[in-house]
Amino acid sequence: MQTRALSLLALMTLTATACGGPDEVVDPVTAETVLTDDVQLDTAEQPIYSGLSVPWVAGVGPAAPYNGTVGMHLSSRQGIYRTPFCTGTLIHSRWILTAAHCITDGRKIRAASSIKVYVNPDDASTTNETNAQFLTHLVNVSRVIRHPNYATNGYGVNDVALLELAADVPNDGLGTEVVPALPANAGFTAGETLSFAGYGRTSSNSGTGILLQLDLPLAGLGCGGVAGCSGANPATTIGYSQVDGGDAGTLGDGPCAGDSGGPAYVQRGGQWFVGGVTSYGDAGCSVYGISMRSDAYAAWLAQYVPAN
C-alpha cells in the first residue's frame, strides 16, 4: 500500500505540486498581502479528518492540553505564508517538538529564518484575523535541530526535530502553554486514548489553519494491531487505525499531512504529556497512522531542552 510519506516529504519544498487553491503571503513589515499564490504545500492542506473544535476558555485560549499546539509557517523573500505547513508542540518555553520531515527540504535542513511559529491564538481560526493581528502571533526560530539519524529517504525513522525559539513563550496561563514530552520508559497501553491536535485546514476553508482535535484509541506499538500497516519500529513508534468511525463524512478519522509534527497527547497521573509526534500513514489518511514515541527520544531531547 502506498504511504503518504512521499507526500509529507514533498510538501516541504516550494516546488511541490500546488493543491487546493490560493494562499496569502504577508509582508512582515507593511502587513500588506503582497501575493496571493497557489498553495505550494501539496497535501499539507488536509485537516484532521472528522476533527472537532478544540475546547476554548474565554479570554485565555485553547483548553489543556490543546494549548500546547502551535502552527508552523513558511517565510520566504516574498513574505510569510498564512497557511501553516506543519504543526508542533511547545514542550518548553523556548522549544518546539515537531517532525523531522517538516523541517527537511529535499535532504537539507531548512534555515531557521524560513520558519515562523504561531502562538497565543485569539481564536481557533486564524482566518478571523487581519494580517497585522496574524503577525503579532509569530515567533522567530533561532535554531533548527533534526535528529541525526533521521532517514531522509524513508519514513518513520527517527522522524523528530526541535525548533529553538528566539524568545520565550511566557508560561503564564494565558494562550500557548508548555506541555512536556513524555519521559523515558513511561510506556503505552493498547486502547488508551490519544488526543491529536493540528492546524490542518478544513476542506471548506481556502485560507489559513484551524486548530482541530480528535481522540483515537492506541492500537499498539509500531504496527501492532493496525490493519494495513507494516514495518514501523515498535521501540520508537505507536500506531492507530484511521478507518472511518461512521460519522457523516466518507473520509477516515485522524490526522493528515497538514497535522504532521503535531502532538498525540496522553495523560499520566492526571498530567498531560506529548506522547507522540505525527509522522506518516497511508496515502488517503483513512487506514492507519503512525506517530513517533516521544518517550523513546527522551535522552536526545534532554541534550537540548532544559527540564521544566
Using CA atoms, how far residue 278 sits from 31, 160, 177, in Å, is: 32, 9, 19
Average pLDDT, the chain: 81
- The angle at the Cα of 215, spanning 44 to 308, to the nearest 5 degrees, equals 85
Q: What mean pLDDT is predicted for residues 159-184?
A: 93
* pLDDT, tens digit, 9 for 90 and up, residues 112-132: 999 999 999 877 665 678 889
Parse the chain into domains and list their residue ranges: 1-308
pLDDT at 117: 97
Burial class (CB in 10 A: 0-12, 13-18, 19+), 2: exposed
Residue 1: the pLDDT is: 29
Of 265, 188, 242, 263, which Cα lies nearest the Cα of 220?
Answer: 188
pLDDT (mean) for 155-183: 92
Model pLDDT, residue 43: 35
Percent of the chain with pLDDT over 70: 79
Could you give the 3-state DSSP secondary structure of residue 302? Answer: helix
CB burial readout 87-115, b (16+ within 10 A) else e: bbbbbbbbbbbbbbbbbbeeeebbebebb
Spatial separation of the C-alpha atoms in residues 173 and 181, rounded to whole Å: 19
**Is the pLDDT at 41 greater than 50, yes or no?**
no
CA distance 48 to 202: 8
pLDDT at 176: 93
pLDDT at res. 142 = 98
Tens-digit pLDDT profile for residues 278-288? 999 887 778 89
The helix/strand/coil state of 103 is: helix
- Grid cell 513517533 is found at 292
Evaluate if residue 257 carries a pLDDT over 80. no
**What is the model's pLDDT at position 308?**
77
95 falls in which pLDDT band (50, 70, 90)? very high
What kind of fold does domain 1-308 have according to CATH?
A: Thrombin, subunit H (2.40.10)
Q: Give the single-character DSSP code of 36.
A: E
What is the distance between the alpha carbons of residues 126 and 145, in angstroms, rounded to a whole number? 27
> What is the SS3 assignment for 124?
coil
What are the beta bridge partners of residue 140? 116
In sign, the C-alpha dihedral spanning 127, 128, 132, 138 is: negative
**3-class DSSP assignment, residue 131:** helix
The letter for the amino acid at 247 is D
| pLDDT at residue 37, rounded to an integer | 57
With bands split at pLDDT 50, 70 and 90, how would you rate the model's confidence at 12?
very low
For 219-243, the pLDDT digits (tens) are 999 999 888 898 899 999 999 988 8
Is the pLDDT reported for residue 22 higher than 60?
A: no
Which residue did the predictor score with more confidence, 144 or 105?
A: 144
What value does the mean pLDDT take over residues 83-111? 94
